[in-house]
Amino acid sequence: MNLVARHGSRRPTKKRIKELEEFADRLRVLSAEAAKNQNETTSLPPLWIKEWKSPWSDKQIGGELLPKGEEELYDLAQRYKLRYPEIFSEPYHPDVYPIIATQVGRSSASSVAFGMGMFAGQGTLGSGKQRAFSVVTDSKANDIHLRFHDTCMVYKESKKLQKPKVDGWQVQVYELVAKSVQGRYSLAVNSEDVSSLWLLCKNEASLLDIVDQACAMFTAEEIELLEWADDLEMHHLKGYGDMLNYRMGVPLLDDVVKTMDRAMAADQSKKVVEKAKLRFAHAETVIPFSCLLGLFLENTDIKQVQSEKPLEAPLRPPQQHLWRGALVAPFAANTALILHKCPADNGDGVKYLVQALHNEKPVIMPACNGTYFCSIETFKEHVVAPHMKRSYESLCTVEYRNQLLDNPPLMEKR
């Protein structure tokens, strides 16, 4: 197994904590104004607005893994252990089950929670008979396998160039929703208020299981629009909207293939086989990796991806689209590639098949001829090889930056 997982649920980051603290003051002002302006056609704002205080206001740093996030990774490990006993039946050894995490607290903590779930009962520590295990990290400045979004300077420049236009599209959505909220509650909200209210909704729902406060301020149709605005950002800045977004992840894909090659070689020579390589990182890792595999594509989009062409943006609701952030990269999102050893079709020898899972569900890699199981040869030729035309170094050089400026990615909103 090659696993690439996002960290579990975490506290809002320092930047978001500050935004929500300021929004608490703004809500009180809006509530007072609404009380003065109420008329027969509008409703009073919900009572919670007047007295709301950010539950994260006492945190000065933020971003750390929450107990809920620990449980997500612990339980994920337990489920994988039950699902693939042939992979996880060996006693722990760092060469058999290497664990890699980024040099960020929430991802390394997630790797520990996963390891505790996976190797519980193998040791002598505590009532759970836990055992020690190693977690390997690379420095933030040099981690091209799991933090390529932070080490590729060309990507950071490209993202900086594209973000104002994406922000402009999102503001249009926020302004539209703001008008509806104004009409319902006589709240003089603007686009910035809607952005903060949407942030609060997502954090309350995902971290506190509260859906009857901020989220209840929006209709179902408005929530679809707001999710689409998020999907637009993810598409253009992290996904299929620009091939650099995911092709800078080729070191990770190359490492996955090398892991498979080592496992097959060791199996054939009867040596110790690396059973699972377990990686813990961020949404900015899982999203590009999913793109490299061709997941969440519409119809024949795989041909455009393989030819280095950007894809058009997700369709606006009520039209449906597969590219949804809530499915691609929620907290504890994970993509796994399972290498299966099977009898050869002619009964002589063995063959190796690759299966992809996203969030534990089997998914089809379009380049694998529409099947859930892809021969290792087809996987290498049709999934991996098209992305290997350029190295990480060539993608992230000044020369490529100049090429980007001459040929900017497709930036259309549908």
What does the pLDDT look like over 119-136, one tens digit per residue?
Answer: 999 999 999 999 999 999
Checking if the pLDDT of 298 tops 90, the result is no
Checking if the pLDDT of 174 tops 70, the result is yes
68, two tokens: 């809920």
Confidence of residue 350 (pLDDT cuts 50, 70, 90): very high
Closest CA to 409 of 157, 143, 49: 157
CB atoms within 10 A of CB 380: 16
Residues near 18 by Cβ (< 8 Å), separated by ≥ 6?
none
Checking if the pLDDT of 299 tops 80, the result is no
pLDDT tens track for 230-245: 999 999 999 999 999 9
Mean pLDDT of 174-199: 95
Checking if the pLDDT of 392 tops 90, the result is yes
Buried b (16+ CB within 10 A) or exposed e, 85-120: eebbeeebeeebbbbbbbebebbbbbbbbbbbbbbb
Q: What is the pLDDT of residue 402?
A: 65
**CA–CA distance, 293 with 183 (Å, rounded to integer):** 45
Checking if the pLDDT of 412 tops 60, the result is no
**CA–CA distance, 331 with 283 (Å, rounded to integer):** 8
Checking if the pLDDT of 409 tops 70, the result is no
Q: What is the pLDDT of residue 397?
A: 82
Q: What is the pLDDT of residue 308?
A: 84
Closest CA to 169 of 246, 225, 238, 239: 225
Checking if the pLDDT of 45 tops 90, the result is no
Confidence of residue 106 (pLDDT cuts 50, 70, 90): very high
Q: What is the pLDDT of residue 318?
A: 93
Q: What is the pLDDT of residue 313?
A: 92
Mean pLDDT of 108-114: 99
Q: What is the pLDDT of residue 229?
A: 98
Mean pLDDT of 392-413: 68
pLDDT tens track for 207-237: 999 999 999 999 999 999 999 999 999 999 9
Q: Mean pLDDT score of the chain, rounded to an integer?
A: 93
Is 245 or 349 the better-scoring residue by pLDDT?
245
Confidence of residue 16 (pLDDT cuts 50, 70, 90): very high
Checking if the pLDDT of 304 tops 70, the result is yes
β-strand partners of 4: 279, 335
Confidence of residue 42 (pLDDT cuts 50, 70, 90): low
Least confident of 37-46, 146-155, 157-166: 37-46
Mean pLDDT of 61-78: 97
Checking if the pLDDT of 316 tops 70, the result is yes
Mean pLDDT of 193-197: 98
**CA–CA distance, 155 with 242 (Å, rounded to integer):** 10
DSSP 330: -
**CA–CA distance, 262 with 237 (Å, rounded to integer):** 34
